[in-house]
């Protein structure tokens, strides 16, 4: 059996979809649906069971699954970079991960692949190299990034990273992110206005070394991110931390241009002040170093931003934004 925590969420549901495409259906989806709309991400999937995250962790620790779990993709977490409830993030993101990791230490036959984040790199002053030995030098800018970094550090100190995998996802976008609210990609949020009014609003830069809209991120399409993730299910000898991105930093203006191009519209961009609450925590530049990933044997090469955006716009956003 394959377990996907966060399996009704963005990356998790697309991962399950890809697994279905390759013939895997003995999948246990673990999540907490609550009153959100992410249940809609499950409609296109074939899986053997669904468990709430609290029921799952309880049954896992009681030994209900025995040695019946082949792989755990631990993707479940609060991914809000503006979440201010530090206690909630410590319990939901950090402590829950420690509990899964502790169980896995007693069940070595189970492959554990978990989601870390590029938010752990902070302002990028220490670079974006996925070297475990550099972990103590990192200073995340927000509590979400810190909750992810804290588990990376725990796994490193306890020697777990010698045989489990942590994936540092960069700016992932694509179908099945509708439920994420303010944490949706700009592409998802801006699409209706661009379609109806032919314009987009981007944040101004509040640094003199970046022009408006020229803040740069590593934008990776969810389909490519999932293919990179699945590489580690097959490559059982690979372990440690790995960046998941394109290896190329593109500007927000590039993203807007790709959207206008996909819609066949003339670019029209306005720039608005960045909220003061996030200015000090804003990453102006991110770019995944993929050397380690490729050296491990991963042959996935991400499609260009323009191609990814066009696929997202034409195949999903022009409909309802979901894989159906």
Greatest Cα-to-Cα distance within the chain, rounded to the nearest angstrom = 59
CA angle 4, 236, 245 (to 5 degrees): 65
- 130: exposed, middle or buried (C-beta count within 10 Å: 0-12, 13-18, 19+)? buried
User: Catalytic annotation on 281?
Assistant: no
Collapsed DSSP state (helix, strand, coil) of residue 183: helix
User: Catalytic annotation on 180?
Assistant: yes
> What's the chain's Rg over C-alpha atoms?
19
DSSP symbol at 291? H
Is residue 151 within 8 Å of 92, Cβ to Cβ? Answer: no
Catalytic annotation, pick one of 94, 144, 191, 312: 144
Take residue 299 and report the two structure tokens written for it.
């042959």
**Residue at token pair 């029209």:** 268
Catalytic annotation, pick one of 180, 191, 312, 316: 180
Q: Whole-angstrom Cα distance, residue 123 to residue 232? A: 28
Collapsed DSSP state (helix, strand, coil) of residue 5: strand
Of residues 33, 1, 39, the one with CA closest to residue 19: 1
Strand 250-251 with 27-31, pairing: unpaired
Distance, CA of 264 to chain centre: 29
Strand order in the sheet with 111-117: 49-52, 27-31, 2-5, 71-74, 111-117, 165-169, 240-244
Active site residues: 144, 180
């Amino acid at each position: 059996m394959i377990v996907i925590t966060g399996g009704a969420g963005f990356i998790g549901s697309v991962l399950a979809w890809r697994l279905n495409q390759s013939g895997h259906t003995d999948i246990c989806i673990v999540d907490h649906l609550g009153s959100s709309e992410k249940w809609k991400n499950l409609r296109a999937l074939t899986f053997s069971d669904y468990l709430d995250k609290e029921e799952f962790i309880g049954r896992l620790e009681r030994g209900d699954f025995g040695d019946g779990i082949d792989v755990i993709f631990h993707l479940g977490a609060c991914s809000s970079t503006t979440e201010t409830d530090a206690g909630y993030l410590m319990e939901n993101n950090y402590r829950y991960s420690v509990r899964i990791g502790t169980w896995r230490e007693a069940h070595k036959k189970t492959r554990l692949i978990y989601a870390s984040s590029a938010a752990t790199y902070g302002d990028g002053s220490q670079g974006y190299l996925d070297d475990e030995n550099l972990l103590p030098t990192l200073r995340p800018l927000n509590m979400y990034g810190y909750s992810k970094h804290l588990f990376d550090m725990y796994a490193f100190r306890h020697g777990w990273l010698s045989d489990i995998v942590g994936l540092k996802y960069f700016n992932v976008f694509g179908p099945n992110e509708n439920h994420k609210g303010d944490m949706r990609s700009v592409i998802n949020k801006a699409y209706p206005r661009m379609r109806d009014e032919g314009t987009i609003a981007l944040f101004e830069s509040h640094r003199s070394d970046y022009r408006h809209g020229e803040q740069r991120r590593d934008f990776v399409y969810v389909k490519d991110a999932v293919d990179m993730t699945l590489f580690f299910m097959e490559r059982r000898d690979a372990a440690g931390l790995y960046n998941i991105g394109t290896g190329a930093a593109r500007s927000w203006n590039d993203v807007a241009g790709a959207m206008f191009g996909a819609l066949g519209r003339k670019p029209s961009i306005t720039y608005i002040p960045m909220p003061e609450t996030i200015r000090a925590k804003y990453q102006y530049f991110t770019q995944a170093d993929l050397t380690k990933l490729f050296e491990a044997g991963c042959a996935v090469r991400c499609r260009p931003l323009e191609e990814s955006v066009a696929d997202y716009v034409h195949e999903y956003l022009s409909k309802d934004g979901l894989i159906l």
